[in-house]
Amino acid sequence: MKLLFKSNVGMTLIEVLIALLMTGILTAAMFKVYVNQHHAWMIQDRVIEMQQNARAAADELSRQLRMAGYELPNNLPPVVAYNTNPDTIVIHYQSAGCSAPIDKAMPQPSAELDCTSPGADVSCFYIGQEAYIFDPNVEKGEFFEISHVQVTPGKIQHNKSPLSKCYPKNSVILALDRIKYYVDRADTLHPKLMVQLGSFPPQVYAEDIVDLQFTYLMKNGDVVDVPPIAKDVRAIGITVRSRTPQKDVEFTATPYRYETYQSRVYLRNMGT
């Protein structure tokens, strides 16, 4: 006897369509989870970068401001303030401990500086350095760039930077730091905190810094935007505001995320 079996294996068109629909729903759900997670990761990465930029800027400014006024000659202010919104500041101090008196009066403003007196040492100066020459008779001076140093017999040239006058004997050459900080908004999409050492070209210190503000605590307790007398400043308040490098689609009114850091630095080299 021969038995015949009818196979029931197979799927109907409706079953196939239902399976495809369920697969599509699951795939869409998984893709949405992935997109949300990726978006959250991107936002977190941008926020961390923004916070690091603001923190680095605030720390750098605090570190430099603590040195303001150290071993400066008379009448050279420890800080020069510009209420330019974003603000600008110039910091002066001596870090190298490098100085040398000139032994002969200059015959003309472009003449070399003669530091041949016993004990004078110009070996700490170098080509391309910005130095400061100070006339103790009038308690004034100016910055200039060193073009050549002759350790023996002790002479300094400044061919690229003629002085404004003939400095007399016993004027002093000093290695001073002159540091300028400001915000460059030329690139509106990525404003930058700039640092400039002396008269040399400015460099980018931190990206996406949108605002920089300073306030000055005077010795009489007043808080001002621009100090009337720089040597009477006792502390400087710093406000740094940064933003994310890219816009956030979830933000409509303000398309960027922002972070603000504030600190106050007491100037240890100023009077009490």
Between residues 159 and 1, which one has the greater pLDDT?
A: 159
Q: What is the mean pLDDT of residues 262-269?
A: 92
Residue 82, pLDDT score: 96
Residue 246, pLDDT score: 81
- Taking only the tens place, the pLDDT of each residue in 192-204 is 999 999 988 999 9
The answer to whether the beta carbons of residues 122 and 151 sit under 8 Å apart is yes
- Looking at every residue in the chain, the average pLDDT score rounds to 87
- The closest of 107, 108, 168 to 133, measured between CA atoms, is 168
Residue 104 DSSP symbol: S
Total-model pTM? 0.80
Residue 156 DSSP symbol: E
Between residues 19 and 140, which one has the greater pLDDT?
A: 140
- The closest of 175, 176, 172, 152 to 100, measured between CA atoms, is 172
Residue 2 has pLDDT above 60, yes or no: no
Residue 248, pLDDT score: 75
The answer to whether the beta carbons of residues 114 and 103 sit under 8 Å apart is yes
Q: Which residues make Cβ contacts (< 8 Å) with residue 237, sequence separation at least 6?
A: 213, 214, 215, 216, 217, 223, 262, 263, 264
The answer to whether the beta carbons of residues 100 and 112 sit under 8 Å apart is no
Cis (ω within 30 of 0) for the bond into 202?
no
| Burial class of residue 22 in the structure, from the number of CB atoms within 10 Å of its CB (0-12 exposed, 13-18 middle, 19+ buried) | exposed
Question: Order of strands across the sheet with 99-101?
Answer: 99-101, 172-174, 130-135, 140-145
Q: Please give the share of the chain, as a percent, with pLDDT higher than 70.
A: 89
The answer to whether the beta carbons of residues 215 and 171 sit under 8 Å apart is no
Residue 173: C-alpha distances to residues 40, 93, 135, 198, 211 (Å): 56, 14, 9, 16, 36
